[in-house]
Amino acid sequence: EIVLTQSPGTLSLSPGERATLSCRASQGVSSAYLAWYQQKPGQAPSLLIFAASRRATGIPDRFSGSGSGTDFTLSISRLEPEDFAVYYCHQYGTSPITFGQGTRLEI
Amino acid sequence: QVTLRESGPALVKPTQTLTLTCTFSGFSLSTSGMCVSWIRQTPGKALEWLARIDWDDDRFYSPSLRTRLNISKGTSKNQVVLTMTNMGPVDTATYFCVRINSGLWDSWGQGAPVTVSS
């Protein structure tokens, strides 16, 4: 199975700063099938980015995704207070479908 | 508006079978390209894919759990049912159902917490 390793495990930043989250795959992932989710306490994950770089409906443009092959990145250009949460990457192109272990973005 | 809601027992005993129901609205599982998956999230927050059922009734399972899982469309057209046999403490998790629309995992239910304990 494809193992997704996210780094860092925890990222401590302040509102207004830029966040860069990494997701590295153990083997190549088609960009068409790489997504990022945001999860806040007590809630389900919510889709942010799909196909590596496409924002889901209603997602502000401060969120952007990039990458290909085995290295993918989620960037948040100017952190808002509501952005502090846990972020997961997800590959859904190769069975079994797998998720990264998450990056906690904290103030 | 698409909504999904998981329901089932909050507590099961070891060796019992868990049955979870996903009741959804705002879409039809008969529409080409529509699928529903089950995912679980452990107390440590790891996400694990369990199973998927497609509009044409194709079914797919996690290789590591295949022998314990069954996913099916419910008797009601807007339901998907997941059963997991021989439950153990390691299966304690929150179970989510997710709509997949033409490959896009775009809507999640709120989750159903399940504890396995005697």
Give the per-residue pLDDT at A107.
Answer: 86
CA dihedral of B75, B36, A1, A48, whole degrees rounded to 10: -160
Task: In whole angstroms, give the CA distance from residue A75 to residue A42.
Answer: 24
User: What DSSP letter does each residue of A21-61 carry, written as one string?
Assistant: EEEEEEEEE-GGGEEEEEE-TTS--EEEEETTTEEPTT--T
For A96, name the nearest residue in chain B, comparing CA atoms only.
B62
* Spatial contact of B4 and B97, defined as CB atoms under 8 Å apart: yes
Q: How far apart are CA A104 and CA A11, in angstroms?
A: 6
pLDDT at residue A22 tops 90: yes
A75 close to A20: Cβ distance less than 8 angstroms: yes
What is the nearest CA distance from A71 to chain B, expressed in angstroms? 20
- Tell me the chain B residues in contact with residue A95 when contact means C-beta distances shorter than 8 Å: 60, 63
Beta-carbon count within 10 A of B27 CB: 17
* Predicted confidence band of residue A96 (pLDDT cuts 50, 70, 90): very high
> What span, in angstroms and rounded, lies between the C-alpha atoms of A37 and A47?
5
pLDDT, position B77: 87
Query: By a Cβ cutoff of 8 Å, what residues of chain A touch chain B?
Result: 1, 32-33, 35, 43-47, 50, 56-57, 86, 88, 90, 92, 95-99, 101-102
* Average pLDDT of the segment spanning B27-36: 95
Query: Tens digits of per-residue pLDDT, A23-82?
Result: 999 999 988 899 999 999 999 999 999 999 999 999 999 999 999 999 999 999 999 999
pLDDT at B44 over 90: no
How large is the greatest C-alpha to C-alpha distance in chain B, in angstroms?
A: 43
pLDDT of residue B65: 96
* Confidence at residue B76, expressed as pLDDT on a 0 to 100 scale: 85
Q: Do A96 and A85 contact (CB within 8 A), yes or no?
A: no
Residue range B9-24: mean pLDDT, rounded:
97
B105 neighbourhood in chain A, CB within 8 Å: 35, 47, 50, 90, 92
Distance in angstroms (rounded) separating the CA atoms of residues A14 and A31: 30
What average pLDDT does range B3-29 have in this prediction? 97
Average pLDDT over residues B27-45: 95
Written as six digits, the tokens of A72 are 């993918």
Structure tokens at B33: 């390209």
pLDDT average, residue stretch B52-73: 96
Q: Above 90 in pLDDT, residue B70?
A: yes
CB B8, CB B115: distance < 8 Å? no
Residue that has been written with the tokens 């995912």 in this structure: B39
